[in-house]
Structures are given as structure tokens and as C-alpha cells.
């Protein structure tokens, strides 16, 4: 840990540095504001001890400057001629503490230790907040994502039950978390229960909790996910995999707001918002008798479809940028830059695993591609389903011609394929690509693809 002492009295600087170095800290001293601010950039301190009266300036003004450039570093003010107004102003500006001279050295040590602990907790909180924002941020500006955002904003403030349907890897949990975050329950718990990940024989005990002695191994009473989510939101992921017996009990919770723990006859009342998700066709499961029809209709109050990546291709560059920064931070390396041609190649790739597969491919690129500025030929070897040694795809991307001509060739290939996928319907193609129909029609005419 590094500490910077800014005080014009040499003896005080030396004494403070000596006693703090005895505790294992690395200390640096400066005798004026200018020297202190210069040293600030060089030594990157974890705590600053700053005198109020300095020969070339006021320590309070220096504090204000430090807080603007380094707001999270604790600053402990010290003064031999202090008054209440200085102390109040320093605390208002964000000083961690205000110590008066003559200094009590034991108190200095205690205050520095508290400041370092506070700094460590602040950094931890910042990392947690950054992780939370990265993990649950919805990325996309396509028409499909705009419609989804509008629907989330409409239904989130209510207590309506939500059923999110969509393919694997499209971000169903992300949608559920966004609904919770924008609801009136946002300050309460969001609890996830994966119906597919829990063994069938444990689903009820995990969901409803159990009493001591309810079964072999139940050595103590345990709350279930329902109780953990009381007053908040319960996210039932992969609800299509829940067994029928548990479905009946979930239905009772929805209808009556009550349940019993496994091994108990005592009824518990609960206030929880249910958000369910599945990648299965629930109406088909109902027809087969594998999912309760009454539960399906109870859950399906507001149906939301999580769009597959093929319906939001225009979002791929935004997702790539997001994952690029996320992976660079995680791996502690520089952010990789994807050229326009590389972004086009990534948009042309098929992603049956949707956004989750795109993220996996991005991680593979970061681990296997050494270059920081990536061209199509750099990423082709790591793309799934590509053999760069003998494919037309590789030759197409490796051919060196003018960028505008290559871009035109790509647009012809790409838009021809998209038209084919959408049955030649320009309106549906434009909607899927997040384009205005008139703009797409004009582009098709430019490329000679209008008939």
C-alpha cells in the first residue's frame, strides 16, 4: 500500500513516513502543493495525508482538485491552525477525516488503516457495480430490440406474470432482470430458480424449502427460493422442464399466494412476482399432457418473445463492441479493433446459439488471435464451420481488391441470402434487418437485386 504525505514541515513528513513504513506501508513525502500534485501522478497512492496550510497554496483547494481527478482515493486533512469552518469545508469536499496538530501518532495509524479499509471496500463495490452493469445490460438498437424495450417498459411497473419464450442463448434471463429492475420491486430480491438444473426429486425442497427431519439429510430447517423472493421477483427459468407435481404447487402459489415447506403442514403466505422462461413449445407440451394447461394460462398473462440473433443482425457490431471491452477487461489486455470488413463478415456468420454463441466466438478470437486490429482473414480460422484452407468463403475474404468493391460484393451476397430466407419479401427482410423498407429497396436497386 502506498501513502503520500504532503506537508511543508520536514520533521512531520519524516515522522509520519517513518511510523507508517514501520507498519509496512510505502511512503512518499512532498513539501508543497505543486510537488504533491506532481508526485500524485508518479506514485499512485492509496491514501493521502494533506496539510491545510502549504507555502504555495491552500490544502483545501488542493483537496478539491484531487477529488475531481481521483474521487475514490481517501484524503486525510491535517492542520496546526485549524478552525471549524476549515474542517466542515474539507468534509463537505469529501475528505475522509480531519486531524489536528500536534498529531497523535497512534490515531494517525488508526485513521490510515480505516481509510485503506474504506478504499478497499469502495474498489470492491465499484467492481461489483461494473460487473452488474456489464452482465445485465441490454445491447441493441434494432427494430426487434426497440419493440422489446417498449414492451418491458410497459409491463415492468405492474405485478403481471410474465412468460418469456425464445431460443437458447437469446437472453431470456436478461429480459427477466430488466423487468425486475424497472418494477416497483426493484429494491427487493431477484431470485433465480433453474427448473432444468435441479434434480426432479429436489425441485420441491429447493423451491418451497423444508423442515428439519423432512427427509434423510435434512438436518435443519431451510428456506426455499419462494421465501427468499418474498416481496421481490422469482424467475422460474426453463419452466417447461418442471415436473407435474411441482407445477401443481406453483399453480397454488400463483392462485392463492401460499405454500407449505416440505415436511410441514404450516401454511406460509407469500407476495412474489412470477417471471417464467422457456425455450420449449409450451402449448405443444400442454397438448401432450406434459405441462398443465391451467398453469400455462396463469403464467402467460404477458407473453414476451426473446428475438433470435438472426432477427437483429444490425445489433451484431454493437454486441461485438460490448464483448470486446468486456473481454479486454477480464483478460487484462488491450481492446481488439474489428475493421468494417471484419464486422461485415461477423454479421454474415450463422449463429444457431444466438448471442451466447457470439460471445463464445468473441472469447475464442481474444484467446487465439494475436493481432489487435483484426481483418476477416484473421478471424476466419476460428469461426465455427469454416475450413480456411479450401473454402470459397476464405478466398472471398482474403482476396485483395478495393474496399468499396469488396463491400459491394458482400452486400450482394448478404442481401441475396436474406431475401431468400424471407421468401423474397422486401418488407419482412427490412424489418428483420432493422432497416426502412424504402432504404432497403433503394439499396437493392443500386446492387441490381430488384428483379
Q: Does one domain contain both 72 and 176?
A: no
Query: Of 272, 306, 340, which residue is a domain's last?
Result: 306
| Domain harbouring 397, CATH code | 1.10.8.60
Query: Over 80: is that where the pLDDT of 118 sits?
Result: yes
- C-alpha dihedral, 421 to 426 to 430 to 435, nearest 10°: 140
Q: Does one domain contain both 296 and 404?
A: no
Please name the residue ranges forming H helices in 169-243: 172-181, 203-208, 225-228
More confident residue, 118 or 403: 118
Quick check: is 135 in a domain? no
pLDDT at position 315, please? 93
- In the block, residue with C-alpha cell 441490381: 448
Query: Of 68, 96, 129, which residue is a domain's last?
Result: 129
Kindly state the average pLDDT of the residues 41-46. 79
pTM over 0.75: no
Quick check: is 343 in a domain? yes
Domain count, the chain: 3
CA 315 to CA 307: how far, in whole Å?
A: 12
Quick check: is 418 in a domain? yes
Quick check: is 141 in a domain? no
β-sheet bridge partners, residue 57: 54
Please name the residue ranges forming H helices in 257-348: 282-287, 293-299, 316-331, 340-348
Rg of the chain over all Cα atoms, to the nearest angstrom: 30
Would strands 53-54 and 57-58 be described as parallel, antiparallel, or unpaired? antiparallel
Q: Does one domain contain both 262 and 345?
A: no
Q: Does one domain contain both 54 and 87?
A: yes
pLDDT, tens digit, 9 for 90 and up, residues 177-219: 999 999 999 988 899 999 988 887 788 888 988 888 888 877 7
Quick check: is 45 in a domain? yes
Q: Does one domain contain both 117 and 194?
A: no
Q: Does one domain contain both 161 and 115?
A: no
Query: Over 90: is that where the pLDDT of 302 sits?
Result: yes
| pLDDT bucket at 413, cuts 50 / 70 / 90 | confident
pLDDT at position 424, please? 81
Q: Does one domain contain both 272 and 373?
A: no
Q: Does one domain contain both 302 and 315?
A: no
Quick check: is 136 in a domain? no
Quick check: is 138 in a domain? no
CA 231 to CA 217: how far, in whole Å?
A: 30
Q: Does one domain contain both 248 and 379?
A: no
Q: Does one domain contain both 158 and 201?
A: yes
| Domain harbouring 264, CATH code | 3.40.50.300
pLDDT at position 135, please? 60
Q: Does one domain contain both 162 and 224?
A: yes
pLDDT at position 386, please? 56
Task: Provide the strand spans (E) within 143-232.
Answer: 162-165, 190-194
pLDDT, tens digit, 9 for 90 and up, residues 365-377: 999 998 989 999 8
Sheet containing strand 47-51, strands side by side: 26-30, 2-6, 47-51, 75-79, 97-100
Query: Of 96, 129, 162, which residue is a domain's last?
Result: 129
Q: Does one domain contain both 69 and 21?
A: yes
Kindly state the average pLDDT of the residues 248-269. 89
**Residue 240's domain spans which residues?**
151-306
pLDDT, tens digit, 9 for 90 and up, residues 71-89: 888 999 998 876 788 888 8
pLDDT at position 126, please? 64
pLDDT at position 268, please? 86
CA 445 to CA 139: how far, in whole Å?
A: 31
Amino acid at each position: 500500500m502506498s501513502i503520500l504525505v504532503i506537508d511543508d514541515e520536514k520533521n512531520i513528513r519524516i515522522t509520519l513516513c517513518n511510523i507508517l513504513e514501520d507498519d509496512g506501508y510505502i511512503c512518499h513525502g512532498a513539501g508543497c502543493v505543486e510537488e504533491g500534485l506532481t508526485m500524485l501522478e508518479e506514485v499512485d497512492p492509496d491514501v493521502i495525508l494533506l496539510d491545510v496550510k502549504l507555502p504555495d497554496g491552500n490544502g483545501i483547494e488542493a483537496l478539491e482538485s484531487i477529488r475531481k481527478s481521483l474521487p475514490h482515493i481517501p484524503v486525510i486533512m491535517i492542520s496546526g491552525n485549524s478552525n471549524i469552518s476549515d474542517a466542515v469545508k474539507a468534509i463537505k469536499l469529501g475528505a475522509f477525516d480531519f486531524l489536528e496538530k500536534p498529531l497523535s501518532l497512534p490515531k494517525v495509524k488508526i485513521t490510515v488503516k480505516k481509510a485503506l479499509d474504506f478504499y478497499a471496500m469502495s474498489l470492491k463495490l465499484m467492481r461489483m457495480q461494473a460487473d452488474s452493469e456489464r452482465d445485465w445490460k441490454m445491447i441493441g438498437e434494432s427494430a426487434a430490440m426497440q419493440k422489446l424495450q417498449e414492451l418491458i417498459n410497459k409491463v415492468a411497473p405492474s405485478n403481471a406474470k410474465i412468460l418469456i419464450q425464445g431460443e437458447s442463448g437469446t437472453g431470456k434471463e436478461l429480459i427477466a432482470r430488466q423487468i425486475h429492475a424497472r418494477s416497483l420491486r426493484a429494491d427487493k430480491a431477484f431470485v433465480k430458480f433453474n427448473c432444468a438444473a435441479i434434480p426432479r426429486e429436489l425441485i420441491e425442497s429447493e423451491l418451497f424449502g423444508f423442515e428439519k427431519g423432512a427427509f434423510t439429510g435434512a438436518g435443519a430447517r431451510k428456506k426455499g427460493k419462494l421465501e427468499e423472493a418474498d416481496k421481490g421477483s422469482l424467475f422460474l427459468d426453463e419452466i417447461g422442464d418442471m415436473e407435474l407435481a411441482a407445477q401443481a404447487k406453483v399453480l397454488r402459489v400463483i392462485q392463492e399466494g401460499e405454500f407449505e415447506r416440505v415436511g410441514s403442514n404450516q401454511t406460509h403466505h407469500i407476495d412474489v412476482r412470477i417471471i417464467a422462461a422457456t425455450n420449449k413449445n409450451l402449448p405443444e407440451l400442454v397438448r401432450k399432457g406434459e405441462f398443465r394447461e391451467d398453469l400455462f394460462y396463469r403464467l402467460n398473462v404477458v407473453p414476451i418473445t426473446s428475438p433470435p440473433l438472426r432477427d437483429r443482425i444490425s445489433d451484431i457490431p454493437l454486441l461485438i463492441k460490448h464483448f470486446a471491452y468486456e473481454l479486454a477487461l477480464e483478460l487484462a489486455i488491450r481492446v481488439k479493433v474489428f475493421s468494417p470488413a471484419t464486422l461485415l463478415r461477423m454479421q454474415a456468420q450463422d449463429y444457431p446459439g444466438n448471442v451466447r454463441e457470439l460471445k463464445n466466438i468473441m472469447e475464442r478470437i481474444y484467446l487465439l488471435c494475436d493481432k489487435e486490429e483484426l481483418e476477416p482473414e484473421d478471424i476466419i480460422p476460428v469461426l465455427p464451420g469454416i475450413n480456411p484452407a479450401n473454402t470459397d468463403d476464405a478466398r472471398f475474404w482474403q482476396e485483395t481488391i478495393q474496399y468499396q468493391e469488396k463491400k459491394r460484393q458482400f452486400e450482394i451476397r448478404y442481401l441475396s441470402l436474406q431475401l431468400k430466407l424471407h421468401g423474397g419479401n422486401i418488407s419482412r427482410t427490412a424489418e428483420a434487418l432493422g432497416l426502412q423498407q424504402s432504404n432497403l429497396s433503394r439499396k437493392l436497386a443500386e446492387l441490381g437485386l430488384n428483379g
